[in-house]
Amino acid sequence: MKRTAFTSFHEELGAKMLEFAGYNMPIEYTGIKDEHMCVREKLGVFDVSHMGEFWVKGPKAFSFVQKLTTNDVAALTDGKIQYSCFPNGKGGIVDDLLVYCIDSETYLLVVNAANIEKDWAWCSKNAEEMGLEVGKELYNASDEICQLAVQGPLALKAMQKLVDVPVEDMEYYTFKKVNMAGIENVIFSTTGYTGSGGCEIYVANEDGEKLINAVMEAGKEFGIQPIGLAARDTLRLEVGFCLYGNDIDDTHTPIEAGLGWITKFVDGNDFIDREFFEKQKADKPKRRLKGFEMIDRGIPRQGYKIEDAEGNEIGEVTSGTSAPAVGKNIGMGYVKEGFYKADTEIFIRVRKKALKAKITKIPFYKG
């Protein structure tokens, strides 16, 4: 198993460690609920160094990213970030990702840990077809970069102590290159996967120990805690963020997944699968990813069948949990046309029981 720059830190704190995407990662420290509420109310720090980072550089960089991603890269300016996805050429999604615009000829693509090899193969294939030099103009820096996500309402206030420029008033989905805790050329971005604000910080692996020590010290007065991947999952589900492999995959389109807002049918944005997605949007999809909350007692889990009142199968749960900040059992799943409206009654098949639930608008957590 691979180790991140922070693995020793997790082990010293007694984290429960498990394999995730080939890495030895912290799943839990003090308990999911405790860690979850720490992020909602104060701040917590996540090791997300297992994520992948690809650089795209040169005169063809813009055209490459515009073709491979559904969002409109032309709308980006230096210092801005987009959430987007890679269509797979067959109506599905290779992965969802973040696109950082360094300048008009330099982009950083941040991809999911479990998909690094798959994404790299996909990007490399398309790069070769478009005449980009793989290994130079398209470069995989995933093994060279470590990343911390500091999330929560007090995150930016705490991190301001370490940064040489103002960051507390940064707009959502922007970034700056800063000096931080004595480390130069840090990418400091106001993104996140929790819905409680905060930042993500990218540095070279050799600077990882210096960074984590400084972050923990700066956050001490605000009650900072290290947070595991289990709470990261409950946090993202409370705000309805998709998880690749659960809610989106190679068999579902961004239109079906409620990601029409990152699928931009504007002039000049001739991305892969554009015609297919545009037609599906016009015709209206026959299934959609929807949020629901349980009425009967029970926790929905991935793979559970969704039924109507007569017991007919109408869909499947993709994600589910007991949500600490919402105080309810919640989930997401694809359901057939006719079951899209909020408050529509559905049933979750849990073994031999059909437990009542209702469709609800996302996000579940609105704090």
Contacts of 50 (CB under 8 A, 6+ apart): 2, 4, 20, 21, 22, 23, 25, 113
Helix (H) / strand (E) containing 26 = strand 23-28
Gap between the Cα atoms of 81 and 107, Å rounded: 10
What is the structure's pLDDT at 188?
98
Query: Rounded mean pLDDT of 161-179?
Result: 97
Gap between the Cα atoms of 217 and 151, Å rounded: 15
pLDDT digits (tens, 9 = 90+) for 279-292: 999 999 999 999 99
pLDDT digits (tens, 9 = 90+) for 345-357: 999 999 899 999 9
pLDDT digits (tens, 9 = 90+) for 47-66: 999 999 999 999 999 999 99
Gap between the Cα atoms of 120 and 272, Å rounded: 17
Of 90, 63, 64, whose CA–CA distance to 275 is shortest?
90
Task: Count Cβ atoms below 10 Å from residue 346 Cβ, excluding itself.
Answer: 22
Query: Rounded mean pLDDT of 295-304?
Result: 98
How would DSSP label each residue in 334-358?
A: EEETT--STT-EEEEEETTEEEEEE
DSSP designation for 309? T
What is the structure's pLDDT at 340?
97
What is the structure's pLDDT at 154?
98
Average pLDDT, the chain: 98
DSSP designation for 361? P
Evaluate if residue 162 carries a pLDDT over 90: yes
Gap between the Cα atoms of 76 and 270, Å rounded: 16
Contacts of 343 (CB under 8 A, 6+ apart): 358, 359, 360
What is the structure's pLDDT at 325?
98
What is the structure's pLDDT at 324?
98
Query: Rounded mean pLDDT of 234-248?
Result: 98
% of the chain surpassing 70 pLDDT:
100
For the chain, list the domains and their CATH numbers. Answer: 7-50+144-238 (3.30.1360.120), 52-140 (3.30.70.1400), 286-360 (2.40.30.110)
What is the structure's pLDDT at 367?
84
